[in-house]
Amino acid sequence: MEGLDLGAMFLQFLLLWFLAIGGPSTIFPDIHRYVVEAHHLLTGEQFAEIYTVAQVAPGPNAMYVTLIGWYLAGWKGVIATTIPLLIPASTLTMLVGHLNERYPDAPIFRAIRRGLMPITIGLVFASATILMRTVNHNWRGYLITLVTVAVVLRKPWNPLWLFAGGALAGILGFV
Amino acid sequence: MLNQTLAQQSSHKTAVTQLQLFIAFSRISLSSFGGAIFWTRRELIERQRWLTERDFLEIYTVGQLLPGPNVLNLTVMVGYRFAGWSGAASAVAGFLGWPCLVVVGMGILYQNYGRLPYVQQALGGMSSVAAGLLLATVIKLASVLPRQWRPWLFGVLAFIGVGVMRWPLLWVMAALAPWAVFAAWKYE
């Protein structure tokens, strides 16, 4: 934990988030490199545990950076690691959102939205299959995933019940 | 005045207040287990009916081009669309404020109880459900795509590049996006 410089970490994270086109997963390796390899603030094992906890917590998956901040320096650390993730969204995104609302029929915006929509769907489908292969270790895991898909597409039930069911199946040793 | 009337006619926006945005995005963030996009879609399209499937996909697509978490970018743009700057701020406060507190709380719990075996097992079962929610989301969103070969081709190529070949997202986007935008410009 020696050599913790919150200001430098803030700037480094800020730079990374401005480069994170396509989402948090694109800069995951760089955050790992900074925190674990370059500055030895956390061990690789601690980093992995923090990441897992944040995946389970409700909210965007990027919140693992918040938890890293908390482990390193309490609430000050939370600020140093979380504010950088907000800055691109509150500057660049706001500007683009403004232009898009102002000129919704501009041909260039229309072409971008129409043209890239299918790519978005392909990318989300890719994430879904990667996640499915990462978390499911046997046919029973895949069965839970497929049952979830079938239920969500056919029933208006609150999917939190599915999570409860998944947790129960895990505890009973089904997966 | 005239401009304003025209703008209102062309967009058919429902009136949404800052408080409503804050509450809706709080509900999204607090139920977002295993990724936020499923819950965001469900809240904005199915529960509140603020957006159509196509609106949602368009905003999400723009959000994906910008740096940072995609759903956070969507949160900013949806808040801004319905209630301006303060709407965006309210939506973001709901979307990120609670998860900040909860993730720290869970970190503390995990330090104390995380190594209990049944916690790990429960997490395993819940991850399988999370994967299913993401798959269901993409199936619902894909219903918006026109029944033409070109959009589907780009979708399939993006999937193969990132999901099968595991090439970096930035390369795949750089290779496909210009063609996709050009085709939409030229043929639609």
Distances from the Cα of A12 to the Cα of B15, B23, B29, B164, angstroms = 40, 33, 26, 31
Selecting from B35, B67, B110 the residue whose C-beta is nearest the C-beta of A18 gives B67
Q: Identify all chain A residues contacting B127, using CB atoms and an 8 Å cutoff.
A: 55, 131, 135, 166
- Asked whether the beta carbons of B114 and A56 are under 8 A apart, the reply is no
* Nearest-angstrom CA–CA distance, A51 and A63: 9
| Per-residue model confidence (pLDDT) at position A57 | 84
How far from chain centre, in Å, is Cα B30? 15
Helix axis angle for A44-56 and A64-88, nearest 10°, is 70
Amino acid at A114: R
Name which residue leads in pLDDT, A165 or A156.
Answer: A165
Helix axis angle for A6-19 and A64-88, nearest 10°, is 60
| Per-residue model confidence (pLDDT) at position A159 | 86
| Per-residue model confidence (pLDDT) at position A50 | 85
Lowest model confidence (mean pLDDT) among A22-26, A112-116, B49-53, B134-138 = A22-26
Residue of A nearest to B117 (CA): A171
- Asked whether the beta carbons of B29 and A59 are under 8 A apart, the reply is yes
Amino acid at A11: L
Q: Highest mean pLDDT range out of A34-43, B84-93, B125-134?
A: B84-93
Query: Is the predicted pLDDT of residue A66 greater than 80, yes or no?
Result: yes
Burial B146-175 (b: 16+ CB within 10 A, else e): eeeebbbbbbebbbebbbeeeeebeebbee
What is the average per-residue pLDDT within A152-174?
90
Q: Identify all chain B residues contacting A152, using CB atoms and an 8 Å cutoff.
A: 132-133, 136
| A21 SS3 class | strand
| Per-residue model confidence (pLDDT) at position A151 | 96
Chain B within 8 Å of A65 (Cβ-Cβ)? no
Query: Is the predicted pLDDT of residue B9 greater than 80, yes or no?
Result: no
Q: Count of alpha carbons within 13 Å of B39, Cβ hemisphere only?
A: 24
What is the ipTM metric for this complex?
Answer: 0.85
| Per-residue model confidence (pLDDT) at position B78 | 97
| Per-residue model confidence (pLDDT) at position B6 | 41
| Per-residue model confidence (pLDDT) at position B23 | 97
Other Cβ atoms within 10 Å of A149 Cβ, number: 21
Amino acid at B78: V
| Per-residue model confidence (pLDDT) at position B12 | 55
Q: List pLDDT tens digits, range A101-120.
A: 899 888 888 898 889 999 99
Rounded to a whole number of angstroms, the distance from the CA of A68 to the nearest CA of chain B is 9
E strands along chain B, which residues?
none
Q: List pLDDT tens digits, range B43-75.
A: 999 999 999 999 999 999 999 889 889 899 999
Element (H, E) at A36: none
* Nearest-angstrom CA–CA distance, B124 and A175: 7
pTM of the entire predicted model: 0.84
Q: Identify all chain A residues contacting B73, using CB atoms and an 8 Å cutoff.
A: 89, 93
Selecting from A90, A116, A159 the residue whose C-beta is nearest the C-beta of B133 gives A159
Please give the mean pLDDT across all residues of chain B. Answer: 87
Q: Identify all chain B residues contacting A21, using CB atoms and an 8 Å cutoff.
A: 65-67, 169-170, 173
Backbone torsions φ then ψ of B67, nearest 5 degrees: -70, 155
